[in-house]
Amino acid sequence: MVNPSPYRNDSIFWVEVDRIKPNPFQPRRVFDEVALASLAESIRQYGVLQPLTVTRKEIEKPGEGIFVEYELIAGERRLRASKLAGIQQVPVVIRTSEDSDKMKLEMAIVENLQREDLNPVDRAIAFQRLVNEFGLKHTEIGARVGKSREYVSNTLRILMLPKEMLDSLAAGEISEGHTRPLLMLIERPEEQATLFKEIIIRRMTVRDAEQTARRIAVERSRKNDLTPELLLIERELTEKLGTRVRIEKREQGGGKVSIDFFSADDLVQLRAILAQAEAQAQAAAAAPAASAAAPLEGDIAPIEVAEQQEAPADAPLAAVAKPEERDDLYSISSFTV
C-alpha cells in the first residue's frame, strides 16, 4: 500500500507573503543582508523558482468567520527576499496540519543543512533543541539529518565555549576547526582566552592553534620544574616580545628558550624588538662613562694620559710622545684600554 502524500493534493498554491507566519522553530538566526539583496534581485527577474513549504490552519474568529493562517516550515530566505523584492504572492506546498512541532524543527534543520545555510552555532543550538525539547538521542539526531553520532556530539560541544567565541564563530572570524583547540583548554579559561586572541590577531591556522593548545595542556607539569625566578623571566619575556615564550630546563643542567612565531612578519617584529633592546643596553652602558668624562660647566676638563711604557733603547726618537706636541697628546694612540 502506498503511503499518502504529506502534501495537500500534491499541488502548488499561491499565497500572499503577508499571510505567512515565520517558523517558530527556525534554527537559523543570522541572515546575510548582501546575499538576501542578491536573491531579491534574482526573484525580481525570474520569480521564486522553488516553492516554500508551509502548514495551513483554519482559525474561527468570533464575528469574522473562518480565517486561514499559514506557518512557514522551510524557505525563510526565499520569503524574506520576496518581501524585499516587493513580490505579493509566492508559490507554496502545503503540508498537513498534523505535523508536530518536532517535525517542523527537523524539516527546518534538514533544509538548512542541505543548503549549508546554518553556521556552526545555529546548527549546535538546533541540535540542542532536539535534545532538550524532544528528548532525542545523539544517534537519533544523526539519523534524521544524515550525519554520524560523533558529528552531532562534537557540534553540541561547541556550545561549551564562552559567548565571545561563539559570536566570533557565527560571524566567521574563526572556523569550526578552531573550536577544537579552544575546547582543549575549557578548564583553563585564561589560557583559552589568550589562544582565542592569538587566533584572531595572528590569523593562526587550525594546525598551529592545535599545536599551541597541546603545549599549553602540558604547561602545568612543565612549570613544576621551573623556579619562581625562571617563571618570572618567562612571563616578562612573553610580555616584552608579544608572543608565547617557554623556558625548559634539562636534567644535565642548562636548558633552552622557545619563542613562538606564526609568520615572517612576526620574525621581523621580533628582530626589531631585540635590536631595540640591544641598542638601549649599549646606550645605558655608555651613559655612565660619558657622564664621568664630561666636565662640569665652568671647570677645566682633566686630561688623562695612560702611563707610557719605557721605549726600547734602539727606538727612534719620534716614537716617544712629547708633551709639547698637543696633537699627539690627544691622539688615540696615547691611550690604553
What is the set of active-site residues? 76
Handedness of CA 169, 173, 177, 178 (dihedral sign): negative
324 is written with which cell numbers? 709639547
CA distance linking residue 205 with residue 189, whole number of Å: 21
CA distance linking residue 212 with residue 218, whole number of Å: 10
CB 27 within 8 Å of CB 76: no
Cα-to-chain-centroid distance, residue 157: 17
